Amino acid sequence: MKDFIGQELVVGDVVVTTPKNYRGLIKAKVVAFTPQKVRVGYRWQGHDVDYLAENTAVVRVGAPTVGRPVWYP
């Protein structure tokens, strides 16, 4: 599955997303995939939270992994 800018996502990738009912961006990890969505998890006020996000609502961040193409704007 690909993120908003076309980068391939795998479980464990760090992504930036906007969770439901939240105005800012958060850093989260890809936990799993469904046929149409991405399950991301993050820690909020001491609690582990995970939710389903559209793949167009996440962007992979961080250093590229070995063997992956690097995307430059």
Chain segment 7-60, per-residue pLDDT in tens: 899 999 999 998 878 788 989 999 999 999 999 999 888 888 889 999 889 999
Domain extent at residue 47: 14-60
Residue 55 lies in a domain: yes
pTM over 0.85? The answer is no
Cβ contacts of 40 within 8 Å, gap of 6 or more: 15, 17, 28, 29, 30, 31, 50, 51, 53, 58
Distance of alpha carbon 21 from alpha carbon 58, whole angstroms: 16
Residue 26 lies in a domain: yes
Number of domains in the chain: 1
pLDDT at 70: 55
Residue 23 lies in a domain: yes
